[in-house]
Structure 1
Amino acid sequence: MYYRRKIDDYLNSWKADPAHKPLIVKGARQIGKTESIMHFANDNYENVIYINFVLEKKYMQILADGYDVESVIKNISLVNPSFKFVPGKTIILFDEIQENPDVATTLKAFKIDGKYDVICSGSMLGINYKKIHSNSVGAKTDYEMYSMDFEEFLWAKGYSQEQIDSILHHMLENKPFNENELSIFKRLFLDYCVLGGMPDVVKLYIETGTFSGTLDVQEQIRLDYEEDVRKYAEGLDQTKIISVYRSVPAQLAKENKKFQFNKIEKNARSREYTGCIEWLIDAGVITECNCLQFPELPLKGNIEESKYKLYYPDTGLLVSALDEEAQEDLRVNKNLGVYKGALYENFVAEAFVKQGLGLYYYKKDNSTLEEDFFVRTQNDLIPVEVKSNNDKSRSLSSMIKNENYSDISYGIKLGDFNVGHANDIYTFPYFCAFKMKEYLKKKDL
């Protein structure tokens, strides 16, 4: 069974645009890229030409006679004469193009020719993307895909768009959820935190109605990520890359979540690991949250490059990296201690990234003043605090009241509570994080 994804609407809009360019879909492995692209292709084209450069090495020489459309199609047809190339009714799918990045050089020719639609994708595309980008400047459109977000998970569970949009309405109207709504959405959210959004994990859970076997699938995905390091990390210390990847869960459990190299290896220096972190970010298996020099706008030009936090882009994989019992502990809310806050903070980071929001935080030197995340509207900088308990939000209140932080007029608190508003702080349940971008956009209207 195919589960609806957000890329579906994007692909339909892409096809409907008469000026559309060849498309490159980027993202980590096993997030559902190929399945979604094939679903779209089979529904919209008479002829689907699918070429996977990992599984079908026989196609590696299709550029032997040049990058023009006629030569490429001739060589594809020599390998597989059953393929039919009918102008206006054919789509060509180049998968795993990180194995053959020169294919991107043909995209300009396909764009000018205009007879065939082309989509490229790859599980490790980010690693070779500089080369791919330089070979196809101005001739392609990029789309960043992630594992399923909470909204896609709710679609898979059978919830209607009206039911899902009711969450946003509660936020905008500052209307608390009733007891039944709050209980159901909290339970669904906890299930999603345990599972994450990897399609194979979600499908197994929905088809069986249980969590049985999902941990095994998650562990295999993490092992596959580490195997990709050994396969694709050329010119870097592969052991160091894997050490960074494995250290993220433990470092998130620390009170000071700033990533510290000496937690990996005593006397380790940042210059020894910087390339490793960049590699993992490019591969899509970790995300970086930048530390602001000062809580003010603009955000991108205001970061302290030596300070950052690292998260897993899929909270389910983070939970699976803990003790085997951690899944059950999270579902019944026990035995997590300091890690409860880390898990929910990771979920918020994941939700923000999947909405296209940047990740920024602030921690003042020699002070207790700190904030987990920052988002922005056209004119406001909004601190976002993720609470694992009901303690007072001293840093959040201080920032709102302090005249030195002139870009901040209100704050947002996410935690295990209902919708509310007091003292210029808007409170929302954790599960509302996936609607944050829409909320900020509509709140400003």
Structure 2
Amino acid sequence: MDFEEFLWAMGIGKELSAKISQWIDTGSEIDVSIGSALTRYFRKFMTVGGMPAAVQKYVDTKDYNEVWDVLASICNIIEKDALRYSDKKDRLKILACLESIPSQLARENKTFVYKDVGKQAGTGRREYGSSLDWLHRAGLINLCYNLRDPYEPLSQMERTDSFKVYLKDPGILTYMLGRETASAIESGNTYVNEGAVVERCISQALVSNGYRIHFYSKPNSSLKMDFVISYKGHLTALETRSGKTKISRSLLMLTSGDYKVERGIKIADGPVGADEHGILHLPLFAPCFFDIPRIETAPSRTPRK
């Protein structure tokens, strides 16, 4: 389930979710009480996740400890499937890649590093590439490629040797990060573990809504951006940061410097609004309601008589 479907399971009607989509699409202010409730539900989504069995268990019990047992069972099934349906030579490598994802996302630099899988220098795609490909084909992970430059068309700017790996389900990631992470999120510390879970949630929200995700990290520079997407026909830099953190230098540089990034959005635990730099501020759950990408077409001309 995505976050909108999670809300339906929690008893939030489709009429309200349609209004939320409209508010996000137009950048309209959201009532404080509604925004606070949605943020609480989003934190719950970060811990419970969207696997139907886990969501149903939470609906039935409202007890996250019960959900934890369901997530443990799901992870066990994933491991068994990896061992059963993969080539014998890749089985342990697939599990090693899977188990390394939480720690890789919990670093400040979340770019996937092959040598961190087996904790052995000199290892790379040759040793683990097919294992990572298996996880991707199995629908367990999303790949987010770095850009050589933040220019369109983004697909032609991809650096295939530099990427992040996101688990598709936030509940599974939180389970793998441990009970302390789950407790911190439940207590309101959304950015625990370098924001690993919230960034994962945003990545999947974008993918679910039809966006091709990329990030930008300039070599030998502090310039970096969590996501670069084409949003409403404009090249857009999307930053996920704590609500207490000011606009980053990177976001300002990309949207007001020599780069061709037309729009900037900061996703944080806060209200909707725009600042003096023209940066749009949206709440954590906003990308879950982004409109699907549309093909921009030129207006048709009236044929001459």
Matching residue of 1:214: 67
Matching residue of 1:240: 93
- Residue aligned with 2:270, SS: coil
Partners of 1:442 and 1:155 lie apart in 2 by 29
Q: Select 1:432's aligned residue among 283, 286, 292.
A: 286
Q: Does 1:283 align with 2:138?
A: yes
On the 8 A contact 2:184/2:192 being kept in 1, the answer is no
Structure ID, larger Rg: 1
Matching residue of 1:185: 38
Using the TM superposition, give the Cα deviation of residue 388 of structure 1 relative to its aligned residue in structure 2, in angstroms. Answer: 2.6
- Residue aligned with 1:427, SS: strand
Matching residue of 1:397: 252
Using the TM superposition, give the Cα deviation of residue 170 of structure 1 relative to its aligned residue in structure 2, in angstroms. Answer: 2.1
Equivalent residue letter for 2:48: L
Matching residue of 2:128: 273
Using the TM superposition, give the Cα deviation of residue 211 of structure 1 relative to its aligned residue in structure 2, in angstroms. Answer: 2.0
Summarize the Cα distance change of 1:389–1:341 in structure 2 as closer, same or farther, 3 Å threshold: farther
Using the TM superposition, give the Cα deviation of residue 340 of structure 1 relative to its aligned residue in structure 2, in angstroms. Answer: 4.9
Q: Does 1:198 align with 2:77?
A: no
Matching residue of 1:160: 13
Matching residue of 2:195: 341
* 1:364-379 to 2 correspondences below 5 Å: 364-377=218-231, 379=233
On the 8 A contact 1:225/1:285 being kept in 2, the answer is no
Q: Select 2:264's aligned residue among 394, 406, 411.
A: 411
- Residue aligned with 2:156, SS: coil
On the 8 A contact 2:191/2:242 being kept in 1, the answer is no
Moved more, 245-254 or 155-164: 155-164
Matching residue of 1:296: 151
- Residue aligned with 1:301, SS: helix
On the 8 A contact 2:181/2:192 being kept in 1, the answer is no
Partners of 1:163 and 1:443 lie apart in 2 by 28
Q: Select 1:363's aligned residue among 193, 214, 217.
A: 217
Q: Does 1:253 align with 2:100?
A: no
- Residue aligned with 1:284, SS: coil
Matching residue of 1:29: none
Matching residue of 2:164: 309
Moved more, 381-390 or 193-202: 381-390
The TM-score normalised by the length of structure 1 is 0.63
Partners of 1:160 and 1:370 lie apart in 2 by 38
On the 8 A contact 1:258/1:309 being kept in 2, the answer is yes
Q: Select 1:318's aligned residue among 159, 162, 173.
A: 173
Alignment deviations for residues 265-288 of structure 1 (CA, whole Å, 9 cap, x no partner) = 221222111111101100111111
Using the TM superposition, give the Cα deviation of residue 236 of structure 1 relative to its aligned residue in structure 2, in angstroms. Answer: 3.2
Using the TM superposition, give the Cα deviation of residue 389 of structure 1 relative to its aligned residue in structure 2, in angstroms. Answer: 4.3
Partners of 2:143 and 2:266 lie apart in 1 by 21
Partners of 2:4 and 2:220 lie apart in 1 by 40
Summarize the Cα distance change of 1:337–1:356 in structure 2 as closer, same or farther, 3 Å threshold: closer
- Residue aligned with 2:179, SS: coil
On the 8 A contact 2:233/2:296 being kept in 1, the answer is no
On the 8 A contact 1:413/1:426 being kept in 2, the answer is yes
Using the TM superposition, give the Cα deviation of residue 223 of structure 1 relative to its aligned residue in structure 2, in angstroms. Answer: 1.4
On the 8 A contact 1:409/1:424 being kept in 2, the answer is no
Partners of 2:272 and 2:243 lie apart in 1 by 16
Partners of 1:360 and 1:417 lie apart in 2 by 24
On the 8 A contact 1:357/1:437 being kept in 2, the answer is no
Equivalent residue letter for 1:326: T
Partners of 2:91 and 2:20 lie apart in 1 by 44
On the 8 A contact 2:3/2:45 being kept in 1, the answer is yes
Identity across matched positions, percent: 31
Partners of 1:342 and 1:303 lie apart in 2 by 22
Equivalent residue letter for 2:126: R
Using the TM superposition, give the Cα deviation of residue 379 of structure 1 relative to its aligned residue in structure 2, in angstroms. Answer: 4.2
Q: Does 1:382 align with 2:242?
A: no
Q: Does 1:420 align with 2:276?
A: no
- Residue aligned with 2:65, SS: coil
